[in-house]
Structure 1
Amino acid sequence: MDLQQVSILKDGDKCMVINGTHKGKSGIVSDINTSKTGHITITVTQTTGIKFKTLGKNVVVAN
């Protein structure tokens, strides 16, 4: 799997979590939000249908 660090995430991107609680999991990016403090939060939906939230800085886009 070819991995690429991207500062701008888009809905529907395939991603892999490289840091944090969900490290090692992958899925499809959705529900991108920016908090008042400037942190980007995203929802990742795994192939099993399970969803989790993580910070945008913890993921890389997978091609």
Structure 2
Amino acid sequence: MENNTLKDGYFCQVSAGTHKGKTGKATDVNISKTGHLTITVVHDNGARFKTLAKNVKVTMS
């Protein structure tokens, strides 16, 4: 994924990592203290989880 294409409100799917296969709306795009781009993904039911942006694919803007 190109990090510059991910913005708040985009629908995305996690393609790697602990939350692989989960989908939701990207919110809270942030750069961590270690320099990695992180996001919070919100499911339709309201559940939230944080993941690295490199593990996410934008499916719809």
TM over 0.5, shorter chain: yes
Q: Is the CA contact 1:29–1:44 (under 8 Å) kept in the aligned structure 2?
A: yes
1:59 aligns with 2:44: no
Does the 8 Å CA contact 1:13/1:61 hold for their aligned counterparts? yes
- Unmatched tracts of structure 2, length 5 or more: none
In the TM superposition, what is the alpha-carbon distance from 1:6 to its structure 2 partner? 3.4
Which residue does 2:34 correspond to in 1? Answer: 37
Q: CA RMSD in A?
A: 1.0
Residues 30 and 44 in structure 1, CA contact (< 8 A), matched pair in contact too: yes
TM-score (norm 2): 0.89
Structure whose residues are more often helix by fraction: 2
Specify every segment of 5 or more residues in structure 1 that has no aligned partner in the other structure, as ranges. Answer: none
CA distance in 2, matches of 1:7, 1:40: 8
Q: Structure 2: how far apart are the matches of 1:27 and 1:50?
A: 9
| 1:7 equivalenced with 2:3 (yes/no) | yes
Residue pair 1:19, 1:58 contacting (<8 A) in 2 also: yes
Query: Which stretch of the first structure deviates more once superposed, 29-38 or 51-60?
Result: 29-38
Shift of 1:18: 0.1
